[in-house]
Amino acid sequence: MMEKSWEPKILAFLCNWCSYAGADLAGTSRIQYPSNIRVIRVPCSGRINPLFILKALQSGVDGVLVSGCHPGDCHYLSGNYIGRRKSATLKCFLEFLGIEGGRVQFSWVSAAEGVKFSRVVQEVTEEVKKLGPLKKFKKSSWFGVQSSEKENE
């Protein structure tokens, strides 16, 4: 029996106006990209609360991608700039703590960049695949992902 090799699960937060549209364009243009990503649409990359990223990692995804509009193109003018600062802080911090930087990735993808989107997803998937499944920080429990029973004895 052929063993199915492990595929990473990646959560992608895409901003509604640019990146999500870009992903949509990739779809309509029939450009292939790995099916490892699960997309969550948000109004703006600046809306991303770092807790989303951490909760995602805790819940069992192996990598997170946050994608927004290019600087200067944000639908809300400055959301992506604020998001950029938050992302930089979080990424440095997570790497410092010991969570591989490759698991939390960021990109600018515009609504016209279907090809870029597919490339970004390809790259992120490959990088996360190389890092392997996320074992640390994941919340284990008897029923899957939510909570844990802690037998502290």
Binding region for another protein (CB under 8 A) out of 4-12, 13-21, 29-37, 119-127: 119-127
Give the angle subtended at the CA of 49 by the CAs of 43 and 55, to the nearest 5°: 115
Complex with another protein: residue 24 or 139, whichever CB lies closer:
139
Report which of 25, 13, 41, 40 is spatially closest to residue 110, judged by C-alpha positions.
Answer: 25
Q: Build a one-symbol-per-residue string for 9-48: x at contacts with another protein by CB under 8 A, - elsewhere.
A: ----------------------------------------
Please give the backbone phi and psi of residue 38, each rounded to the nearest 5 degrees, phi first.
-120, 130
Is the CB of residue 108 less than 8 Å from the CB of residue 102?
no
- 120-149 positions binding another protein, by CB under 8 A: 120, 123-124, 136-149
Report which of 58, 56, 6, 66 is spatially closest to residue 36, judged by C-alpha positions.
Answer: 6
Report which of 135, 120, 138, 7 is spatially closest to residue 67, judged by C-alpha positions.
Answer: 120
**Distance in Å, CB of 88 to another protein, minimum:** 6
Complex with another protein: residue 1 or 52, whichever CB lies closer:
52
Among 31, 40, 54, 115, binds another protein (CB under 8 A): 54
Handedness of CA 12, 122, 136, 144 (dihedral sign): positive
Complex with another protein: residue 3 or 149, whichever CB lies closer:
149
Q: Does 77 bind another protein (CB under 8 A)?
A: no
Is the CB of residue 49 less than 8 Å from the CB of residue 55?
no
Site residues (CB under 8 A) for another protein?
50-51, 54-55, 58, 71-72, 78, 81-82, 84-101, 105-108, 120, 123-124, 136-150, 152-153
